A and B are shown apart, each in its own frame.
Chain A
Amino acid sequence: MNGRAAPLCIGEDGWPEGPEQNRPPRLEVVPGGGAGKEKLAQRSLLLVEDDPSMRLLCTFNLELAGFRVTTAGSGREGLDAARVGRFDLVVLDVMLPDLGGFEVAAALRADEATRDVPFVFLSARTSSDDLARGRAVGAIDYVTKPFDPVELGARLHGDLDELARGGADDVWELRFGGAEPKR
């Protein structure tokens, strides 16, 4: 079955513009990711989510939290967008019409251009198996629905800060108390 393609959403400032453009400079760590940061401190984020309501909610709140948000409505669109642009973070839904979130993550990992982009899952699938699978494919965090969109930006900023200080394992440790993912 095919999914109905949503037009690729580009952030309000028109970014990303092309592959040659480098990752936006990150001048300082923004603890808590409060709103109203300087433009240079803005982190770019790709949201791959097929549900329009969730897309609207996340975009609205993440932008208020200082992210520059690009959205994609399906896995393939998301993958294309990730290859074209440079993002500080990719937020992936797990259930997507064409290509599932885990597959998108694996494709990101396999591609030289997107290998180092950190990603986070945002899903209604909440079993420990799903979390373990998310960790196994390399996610730094796994946000389960329902979640508080107002706090989401702070959480993602926190993830990125922790990642800058240590590594993906530290982020996981921060979020899940170091519980070993079960397979």
Chain B
Amino acid sequence: MTTPAAVEAARRAQRPVWLALLLLVCVIVALVVAGSFTAWRLYADANKRYLQQAIPVYGAAHDVLVQMLNEETGIRGYVISADPVALEPYMRGRRRARADLAAIGRGTRFDPDMSPHLAVARREVRRLNDFFEQQIALVRSGRAGRERAQARLLVGKTHFDRFRAAALALDSDASDVVARAHADQRNTLVAAIVFLGFAGAIATGIAVALLLTVPHRLFRLYREERAARRAAEQGADAARALAHVRDAVLLLDGESEAVRYWNPAAGTLFGLADGDGHSSQVARTLDELRRGREQAPGPRPVRVNGHERWVSYAETEFDGGRVVVLRDVTDDQRLERLRADFVATAAHELRTPLAAVYGAARTLRRDDRRLSPEVSEQFLAMIETEAERLKLLMDQLLVSAQLDREDVKLQREAVDLGGLTKSLVSSVELRKPESIELQVDCPDEVLCVDADPERLRQVLANLLDNAIKYSPDGGRVQVRISERGGFGVVEVRDDGIGIPHHEQQRIFEKFYRLDPSMTSGVGGSGLGLYISRALVQQMGGLLSVRSELGEGSTFSIMLPLSDTMAA
């Protein structure tokens, strides 16, 4: 079933699937790679943007401590020296510290975790600044104030330490936020990459699995489909062949004997229509044939739908059923019977003259009696006549066989119809019974027909013999020659009782007799008219009969006029 071409076709069929699946794997890998790259880019961008926001806060948190330190240093210098120039760093630091706190405030909007420490830092800055303002006011109030301010320097240090702690906490917050954001984004990146990788791996796995199984499976399916199609085609071919088989073919179920399939010939034989799987006619016939086969092989007669058919029977059993083949040999059987009848009839026809010859010879040789010369002469004449009859019969049988084989060679020449008829009639005249009158009616001019003279003479002699044989005593046989429409016509008419209409064509059949059982009838082979008609037809002419019961019969030979006549 699997030819190299089929395998090649299946391979070709699975190639596009291979390519499609490979493409799918590539697309999945590309998606995973692109997704990973995008995730990494998103991570990097987010980091940059976060740092852009976080770094000023981080810087400002550092700077505010530096500026406050500058303020404190400036105030301490001023308290000691009372030089207003010494206030310069203080004033600058205070401005910058305020700006730093504002920057931190702006920058921590995105991270509320920093707000508590920012508020503490702001409060400490405010307290420290309030303390610094008081110191400046004391120094400006005079000497006593200046000394009191110097005495409060330690108090300032305490304030500053508290502020430093708050500022450091804020700084630490900023560091924490940056670190945490960095970690979060890295985790997101890792999660995205892991997810993409995982999804990509699953998709790739599926694609690879498909790649490994689908083409193979497709190859198998394709092969199976082709095999199924071929099986279906073969089934269809088988059905087509069976439809044109002359034999009746039936497929029987192994158990129920129901007819699962029948071909048209079987349908015709049994008259089966759709749904006739359980035909009692089929079951009965098969039963009859099976029983018959046990008695004797060979075709058997069965009654099918009221008709007798000769059927030969063959049955083949297989796993799950039976195939029955019936051949309708009714026609063969009929031919065979005709053939057997022919032999029997031929033998029978030969027996009568043979019996006469044999009987006459035995009588002539009787040893108990001396026969008179007259009697001896009578029996010798009988031997001669009957031997001639035998010869005629043999000739007829041979010609009949030749006609069957289409093996009759005919000469064609211009034959003088009147001359031939007259010479034949004069010879018949000698042997016909005296009680029968023979008349010939012939035109003066010569009529030449295209024919084989010897065969035409045989045909005419046969018609004359029949006419004489079937004429009653005192009857008259008339022979008339005429011309009709380019044909020469010879008519032989007798006064016999005539032939019934329904028999008028059948008398030309081989061995046909009016009485098929041959229990009666004038002697004859039953071949004369059959041969006569066949010969006349081969000469291009026509032999026909006109007859009415009680009014005699007229047989007519029509033969085409020869060219010499036409010219």
Q: Which residues of A contact B (CB under 8 A)?
A: 1-5, 35, 50-51, 53-54, 56-58, 60-61, 64, 75, 94-103, 124-127, 144-150
Residues of B within 8 A of A100 (CB): 515, 517, 519-520
- Cα A86 to Cα B356 in complex, Å, equals 28
Q: Pick the contact of A57: B349, B359, B496 (CB < 8 A).
A: B359
B521 beta carbon closer than 8 Å to chain A:
yes
- Cβ contact within 8 Å between A146 and B358: yes
Separation in Å of the B361 CB from the closest CB of chain A?
A: 10
Chain A residue at minimum C-beta to C-beta distance from B381:
A53
Cross-chain pairs A/B with CB under 8 angstroms, 17 sampled? A1-B470, A1-B496, A1-B499, A4-B471, A50-B523, A53-B385, A54-B355, A54-B356, A56-B378, A57-B363, A60-B375, A95-B518, A103-B519, A146-B351, A146-B355, A148-B359, A149-B359
Residues of A within 8 A of B523 (CB): 50-51, 95
B344 beta carbon closer than 8 Å to chain A:
yes
Residues of B within 8 A of A2 (CB): 470, 472, 496-497
B229 beta carbon closer than 8 Å to chain A:
no
- Cα A96 to Cα B515 in complex, Å, equals 11
- Cβ contact within 8 Å between A50 and B385: no
B368 beta carbon closer than 8 Å to chain A:
yes
Residues of B within 8 A of A56 (CB): 378, 382
Q: Pick the contact of B352: A4, A98, A145, A148 (CB < 8 A).
A: A145
Leading 5 A-B pairs by shortest Cβ distance:
A100-B519, A146-B355, A145-B355, A124-B351, A100-B520
- Cβ contact within 8 Å between B363 and A60: yes
Question: Given A60-B375, A97-B520, A101-B519, A53–B363 Cβ distance below 8 Å?
Answer: no
- Cα A94 to Cα B349 in complex, Å, equals 13
B348 beta carbon closer than 8 Å to chain A:
yes
- Cα A57 to Cα B385 in complex, Å, equals 14
Residues of A within 8 A of B386 (CB): 53
Size category, B interface = 35 or more
B246 beta carbon closer than 8 Å to chain A:
no
Separation in Å of the B6 CB from the closest CB of chain A?
A: 66
Separation in Å of the A7 CB from the closest CB of chain B?
A: 9
Q: Pick the contact of B356: A3, A35, A57, A150 (CB < 8 A).
A: A57
Separation in Å of the B474 CB from the closest CB of chain A?
A: 10
Separation in Å of the A162 CB from the closest CB of chain B?
A: 24
Chain B residue at minimum C-beta to C-beta distance from A152:
B359
- Chain A CB within 10 Å, residue with most, of B352, B355, B520: B520
- Cβ contact within 8 Å between B470 and A125: no
B360 beta carbon closer than 8 Å to chain A:
yes
Chain B residue at minimum C-beta to C-beta distance from A36:
B368
- Cα A29 to Cα B557 in complex, Å, equals 60
- Cβ contact within 8 Å between B518 and A61: no
Interface string of B515-544 (1 = CB under 8 A from A): 101111111000000000000000000000
Interface residues of B in 204-259 (CB under 8 A from A): none
- Cα A125 to Cα B517 in complex, Å, equals 11
Residues of A within 8 A of B517 (CB): 100
- Cβ contact within 8 Å between A145 and B354: yes
- Cβ contact within 8 Å between B473 and A4: yes
Q: Pick the contact of A126: B351, B356, B470 (CB < 8 A).
A: B351
- Cα A177 to Cα B522 in complex, Å, equals 33
- Cα A53 to Cα B470 in complex, Å, equals 18
Residues of B within 8 A of A1 (CB): 470, 496-497, 499, 514, 521-522
- Cβ contact within 8 Å between A98 and B354: no
Chain A residue at minimum C-beta to C-beta distance from B353:
A53
Interface residues of B in 350-390 (CB under 8 A from A): 351-356, 358-360, 362-363, 366, 368-369, 375, 378-379, 382, 385-386
Separation in Å of the B30 CB from the closest CB of chain A?
A: 101
Residues of B within 8 A of A125 (CB): 348, 518
- Cα A68 to Cα B375 in complex, Å, equals 19
Residues of B within 8 A of A50 (CB): 522-523
Residues of A within 8 A of B363 (CB): 57, 60-61, 149-150
- Chain B CB within 10 Å, residue with most, of A53, A64, A146, A147: A53
Question: Given A1-B499, A4-B469, A53-B382, A146–B354 Cβ distance below 8 Å?
Answer: yes
- Cα A4 to Cα B520 in complex, Å, equals 13
Question: Given A60-B375, A95-B519, A149-B359, A4–B433 Cβ distance below 8 Å?
Answer: yes
Question: Given A124-B352, A145-B354, A146-B354, A57–B360 Cβ distance below 8 Å?
Answer: yes
- Cα A125 to Cα B347 in complex, Å, equals 9
Interface residues of B in 371-417 (CB under 8 A from A): 375, 378-379, 382, 385-386
- Chain A CB within 10 Å, residue with most, of B348, B369, B375, B433: B348
